[in-house]
A and B are shown apart, each in its own frame.
Chain A
Amino acid sequence: GDSVTQMEGPVTLSEEAFLTINCTYTATGYPSLFWYVQYPGEGLQLLLKATKADDKGSNKGFEATYRKETTSFHLEKGSVQVSDSAVYFCALSGQIILTGGGNKLTFGTGTQLKVEL
């Protein structure tokens, strides 16, 4: 079945440091790929997405490129801020099952990021 593997946390960085959070996936067909972010005490919200190979998703200075050849979707940001401290989830949405399987997300385990001054 579908699966997502992302790097273990927690990750602690100084403000303005470069961020990479690795994510690789296993899926049949052509999934859509997502990064969701969860701030403390809140639900998840979409950070960025890519729906086909070589697409680059970007938002709030974060970027990720859909690499089908390496089955990866690594999250990057050139200069992190304290306000970026959160848990980041990589996820995929697989092909729709004809019996009405719907829009099911498979999540990685999450990576906690802490940014210090």
Chain B
Amino acid sequence: NAGVTQTPKFQVLKTGQSMTLQCAQDMNHEYMSWYRQDPGMGLRLIHYSVGAGITDQGEVPNGYNVSRSTTEDFPLRLLSAAPSQTSVYFCASSPRAERSYNEQFFGPGTRLTVL
């Protein structure tokens, strides 16, 4: 198993550009989520999905879109990049959405810089 994979590893954008951060997992996990990590703020939830076709907003969803057409993939779209979106982005997955004790498995992260 590759676990949770993310691409690209690094990305530099100009303000106003759009892009998609890719996330895939091969563990048949039901639950997937996106977090951003900023200095002094820990990780904050952007969007999450409890299964294919079902997504919902987290704590900081503005400026981001998601979709979940398959169990494996959960891409994060930046619609019009802003410098405030400079951050490290982590995708995570977990076996069952309704089990709060489940471990979440994290990808290696994407470091995004918006100029």
- The chain A residues found within 8 Å of chain B, CB to CB, are 4, 31-32, 34, 36, 42-46, 49, 51, 89, 93-96, 100-105, 107-110
Q: Are the C-beta atoms of B108 and A43 separated by less than 8 Å? A: yes
Residue on A with the closest CB to B102?
A103
Return chain A residues, CB-CB under 8 Å to B35.
107
**B103 is contacted by which of A4, A42, A49, A109 (Cβ under 8 Å)?**
A49
Look across to chain A and name the residue whose beta carbon is closest to the beta carbon of B98.
A96
Tell me whether A103 and B96 are in contact in the complex, defined as CB-CB below 8 angstroms, given that A49-B103, A89-B42, A110-B42 are known contacts.
yes
Residues in chain B within 8 A of chain A (CB atoms): 4, 31, 33, 35, 40-45, 48-50, 54, 56, 58, 90, 92, 94, 96-104, 106-109
Residues on B with beta carbons closer than 8 Å to the beta carbon of A34: 103
The answer to whether A43 and B109 touch (CB under 8 A), given A102-B31, A102-B48, A103-B31, is yes
Q: When the two chains form the complex, which single residue of A4, A43, A105 contacts B45, counting CB atoms closer than 8 Å?
A: A105
Closest to B43 in A: A107
Q: Nearest Cβ distance between residue B64 and chain A, in whole angstroms?
A: 16
Q: Pick the 5 closest A-B CB pairs, nearest first.
A: A43-B106, A107-B42, A93-B100, A51-B101, A32-B101
Q: Is the CB of B41 within 8 A of A109?
A: yes
Q: Are B97 and A44 in contact (CB under 8 A)?
A: no
State A108–B94 Cα separation when bound (angstroms): 20
